[in-house]
Homo-oligomer: A and B are copies of this chain.
Amino acid sequence: MSEVEETLERIKVQPGVEGYVICDMEGQVLRRFPTMSQETAEIYAEAMRHLALKARGVVRDVNPKGELKYMRIRAKRHEVLVAFGEE
């Protein structure tokens, strides 16, 4: 099993996890949680793409050498964790 598959398996069994999406920086969905629809995955991918671009800019505003690694957005009932791969 590849490292990606192992990581996805570990994420899947975490209590409270409702889904995951792997996408590229253009918001193209590459992988999604088995029970998540393509449409939902695209909504999350597009939303996080916009936020990620903004967050990367903000990190650089504050520290030009800064590199965005991780983002966590907590709403009342849900939380989205965004991890960034190498560019």
- Asked if residues B58 and A47 are in contact (CB atoms below 8 Å), the reply is yes
- Asked if residues A48 and B44 are in contact (CB atoms below 8 Å), the reply is no
| Segment 29-45 of A: residues with Cβ below 8 Å from B | 43-44
Measured in the bound complex, the distance between the Cα atoms of B19 and A63 in whole Å is 15
Measured in the bound complex, the distance between the Cα atoms of B61 and A63 in whole Å is 29
- Asked if residues B58 and A50 are in contact (CB atoms below 8 Å), the reply is yes
CB-CB < 8 A to A44: which residues of B? 62
- Asked if residues B76 and A69 are in contact (CB atoms below 8 Å), the reply is yes
Residues of A within 8 A of B (CB): 43-44, 47-48, 50-51, 54-55, 58-59, 61-63, 65-78, 80
Q: Apart from A51-B51, A70-B74, what 5 extra A-B contacts exist at CB < 8 Å? A: A47-B62, A51-B58, A66-B77, A68-B74, A70-B73
